[in-house]
Structure 1
Amino acid sequence: MREGALAKGMYRNVFAELGYAEEEIDARLQEAWEGLFEGNEHTRIYYPAGDDMGYLLDTGNLDVRTEGMSYGMMMAVQMDRRDVFDRIWKWTRTYMYMTEGENAGYFAWSCLPDGRRNSNGPAPDGEEYFAMALFFASHRWGDREPPFDYGAQARELLRTCLHKGEDGVGQPMWDPGNKLIKFIPNCDFSDPSYHLPHFYELFALWADPDDRKFWKEAAAASRDYLTIACHPVTGLAPEYAHYDGRPNDERGYGHFFSDSYRVAANIGLDAEWFGIDERLRAIVNRIQAFFADKEPADYRRYTIAGEPFDEPALHPVGLLATNAMASLAADSPHARSCVERLWNTPLRQGDRRYYDNCLYFFAMLALSGRYRIWMPQARS
């Protein structure tokens, strides 16, 4: 029987298991937070906006994405920074939330830092992170007036994600038949890195009662999907994949590249929260073995069979971070060295730092036992 932190109430501190002192671990995590949210222009990705808003900047593309905004909210709730969380959420609701058209109820995936939209299309990875972060905020801090009635906002968003289009307008973010998350609502394929069965298990506890069975089934469907989307030898996943797991090379996204890195991290956190799935453990063991003889400076874009392209990895720090986070599920001989490599790597600096450092911070949280499930609290 699988048993993770939800059942046991305990979180692994892998850094401590390897001998690092608690004070040093706390200092490293705080240093990473300050680098991203309060640091200088070499590391920071969060910027206050006005008196009560703020945004995370994709420093490589100079836009604000639902991916980054939802990541920032998750980081803030895990670090008990309600002030930052509320600033990010207010910016998101003010500029990204769509009230008209076929995507009403979703969030525009890309905006300029002044709030103007680059697109009126949504990206489901943002929506699922928004919902999870909002539930955690509700449970950790309690709800206030809209839009800070976090729990109600999360349930409304998930309701839209599943039932959009039932009135003939728009499309849902999950396929109602196979229960797999889509790459975008109006397509019939997926992105393996979007699959977060550990989130869906919690949605099955806290979403609208009528939808809870769907979310439970979606968690199982996603775990099954990862077993067919990841290569049987290397463990590598493509950025886009068909519902039968075959790589979808639309616009060249059928290979292992930036999105794909997150699969290993997601498997690690699923194992931490809900226990080991041996099929998924085998995947991350293969991934760690594939990268065992490669240095970050030599990371490339690869076919999922492991054949390298000339194109170097855009986010080598992000890749080594996700491989380290996979150690929460792995039992490979490389698990320790992956974690030590992360510990010995600083935050990335420069134009491409945004994505790398988001994955870096999540790995630091998870491997220190501080990426936690925040359950509902009894309140007087």
Structure 2
Amino acid sequence: MSTKLGTGAFFTGNYRNLFKLYGYSQEEIERRVEDTWDNLFGGNEDTRIYYEAGSDMGYLLDTGNIDVRTEGMSYGMMMAVQMNRKDIFDRIWKWTMTYMYMSEGENAGYFAWSCNTDGTKRSYGPAPDGEEYFALALFFASHRWGDGSVPFNYGAQARNLLHSCVHKGENNDGYPMWEPANKLIKFIPNCDYSDPSYHLPHFYELFALWANPEDRKFWKEAATASRDYLKLSCHPVTGLAPEYAYYDGTPNNERGYGHFYSDSYRVAANIGLDTEWFGVDPWQYDEANRIQTFFSGIDPSDYRRYTIAGEPFEEKSLHPVGLLATNAMASLASFEGPHAKACVDLFWNTPLRTGDRRYYDNCLYLFAMLALSGSFKIYMPAV
């Protein structure tokens, strides 16, 4: 049975707690969410990914590559606003603005996607998945806590960033992050292909409400375009998406990125949260079932790289915990599906990842913990 259209939390204000629906107690759910946060942002050296820097800044560390990425920083801000931790949010945002923001050159207005832990830039190029998470986290912060002085004037910062994402290049000053002709997010600004896991139509629906008025029509159209694009890029039988895909949805196999691998895992999480928040696309129900069915007979220890048709490679998954976490999050799109509860139970019974590669897995783990407990919420402006 698919989710009824228009029954997402944006319309109803009700967030489903799938853990509770599947039999876990509210007390243990709340404890698990708090423990997960504490293990990522506290002092457990086996699982932590957040580190303070000086008296008023902090960063999330990619523990596998020993750098600070806009992906992780924007994720950390979203986690912090969901957990009502303004102190952590402001530390991360100040580090981001101090070291990652670019004020000149063709990427002015964007953020350098990779820095060393001392703040020196490893790249002067941006990655759009960071920018879109920064923007929505800033809007939520503005609505939850109110705006402060620069750089903590959250709402203005979000609107300025989205303006750059849409309008860069109109004065030969660089490249936009969304392709103007089709409203699809790019993998990087100066390319002509996309990454299906970057597509967050549920974010764009909110940008259409809160961005600068002249850009709101663009974001509404981008939400529709992204939902349509996912139908093209996800395999009709397995549900698997490539890491990179052309604008027609076909896999971009340049340098081996046309397969289902690390980036691709996020597609399942994104369709789950889009359904939870908006519930406007019945295709997402079937897509969640396809993904979960594909993985239902595979032990996580044997997760691999796959073609989108499901053919396995010898190469093992680099982030198996992240993959099972996102598969569980897909249950939000199909909570009565044949594998929905099993995926959630598998996630619940899997601990946080430890070791050098824990960063990406544990980010996806906390997002799944928030979403499946009904705690990944939309924060609207104060009335």
TM superposition score normalised by structure 1 = 0.99
Q: Distance in 2 between matches of 1:58 and 1:359?
A: 13
Q: Does 1:175 align with 2:179?
A: yes
How many equivalent pairs are there? 378
Do 1:223 and 1:280's aligned partners in 2 also have CA atoms closer than 8 Å?
no
Shift of 1:278: 1.6
1:63-82 map, 5 Å: 63-82=67-86
Cα deviation digits, residues 95-139 of structure 1 (max 9, x gap):
000011000000000000000110000000000000000000000
Shift of 1:39: 2.9
Q: Does 1:325 align with 2:329?
A: yes
Task: State the partner residue of 1:339.
Answer: 344
Q: Distance in 1 between matches of 2:58 and 2:74?
A: 12
Do 1:297 and 1:316's aligned partners in 2 also have CA atoms closer than 8 Å?
yes
Q: Distance in 1 between matches of 2:59 and 2:9?
A: 31
Q: Which moved more, 1:96-105 or 1:277-286?
A: 277-286
Shift of 1:243: 0.2
Selected match of 1:358 from 363, 366, 371: 363
Amino acid at match of 1:230: C
Selected match of 2:295 from 291, 298, 307: 291
Task: State the partner residue of 2:99.
Answer: 95
CA RMSD in angstroms, aligned pairs only: 0.7
Cα deviation digits, residues 284-321 of structure 1 (max 9, x gap):
11000000000110000000000000000000000000
Q: Distance in 1 between matches of 2:22 and 2:155?
A: 37
1:92-241 map, 5 Å: 92-241=96-245
Q: Distance in 2 between matches of 1:55 and 1:190?
A: 27
Structure 1 consecutive aligned stretches of length 4 or more whose deviation exceeds 2 Å:
none
Cα deviation digits, residues 176-212 of structure 1 (max 9, x gap):
1100000000000000000000000000000001100
Task: For structure 2, list consecutive stretches of 5 or more residues without a partner in the other structure.
Answer: none
Amino acid at match of 1:343: W
Task: For structure 1, list consecutive stretches of 5 or more residues without a partner in the other structure.
Answer: none
Task: State the partner residue of 2:265.
Answer: 261
Q: Distance in 2 between matches of 1:128 and 1:51?
A: 28
Task: State the partner residue of 2:274.
Answer: 270
Shift of 1:38: 0.2
Shift of 1:2: 2.4
Shift of 1:371: 0.1
Q: Does 1:371 align with 2:376?
A: yes
Shift of 1:276: 4.7
Q: Distance in 2 between matches of 1:88 and 1:137?
A: 13
Shift of 1:70: 0.1
Task: State the partner residue of 1:50.
Answer: 54
Cα deviation digits, residues 6-51 of structure 1 (max 9, x gap):
1001000000101111110010000000000003221000000000
Compared with structure 1, are the counterparts of its residues 276 and 346 closer, same or farther at alpha carbon in structure 2 (3 Å cutoff)? farther
Q: Distance in 1 between matches of 2:254 and 2:119?
A: 30
Q: Which moved more, 1:244-253 or 1:277-286?
A: 277-286
Do 1:288 and 1:332's aligned partners in 2 also have CA atoms closer than 8 Å?
no
